[in-house]
Structure 1
Amino acid sequence: MKLLIITAISSFDSEVKRMLKQSDVKTFTYKTVTGFKDLSEEAIESNWFGSESNESESILYYAFVKKEKVDLFFQLIDIFNEEQKTASHIHVAVLNIEKSN
C-alpha cells in the first residue's frame, strides 16, 4: 500500500481527478488549502506578482493506493506538467505504508 500526496492549484482540480480515475484510484480525499511561495529573494524584474509573497488557491489530495497504480499516475502527471505553459505544476509524492488498518 502506498500513500499519494498531491498538490495543485485549484484550476487543475478536474485534471487531477481525471488522472486519478485513469489510474483506477477510486477513493481519495481532497481539501482546499492556501499555497504559499516566498518571493523575497527573487529579483523584482522577474517577480511577476511584484510582492515578496504569493498565495494561491490550491487543493491537497491524498489517496491510499495499491503499489501497481502509482507508476501510471506519475506518468500522467509528468505528461500533464510537460504540456503546461504556466509556471504552476501538479506536484505529487508517494510514501510507503508499512502498516495500515
Structure 2
Amino acid sequence: MGDADAATRIAPANPQVAVAIVHTYIGDLIVDLLAPDGSVYVLHNRTGGSADNINQTYTVNLSSEALNGSWRLRARDRAAADTGYINSWSITF
C-alpha cells in the first residue's frame, strides 16, 4: 500500500476505546472521543451516579472517519464539588 492509500484509509466499524478515569462521582462526567476532523463521539454522558471511577472499554462505529490523524479523548466535569483525572486511555483499530 502506498502513501496515497494510507492517507485515505477509513477507520473500522468496531474499534475499542479503553478509558480509565479516576473520579469521585462519575455522574458528573461527559467523556467524548474526538476524531481528527473534529467529529465528536460520546462515550459516557453523566451516567453512573455517585459511583467512583470509569474503567471501561467502549466499541464505537467510526466507519465514516478517516483513520489517519490525531484522535483525542475529552472529559468534562459538569459539577464543581468532585475531582478526578484521566489516568489512561487507548484506541485499538
Q: TM-score normalized by structure 2?
A: 0.38
Q: Which has the higher helix share?
A: 1
Q: Which has the higher strand share?
A: 2
Q: TM-score normalized by structure 1?
A: 0.36
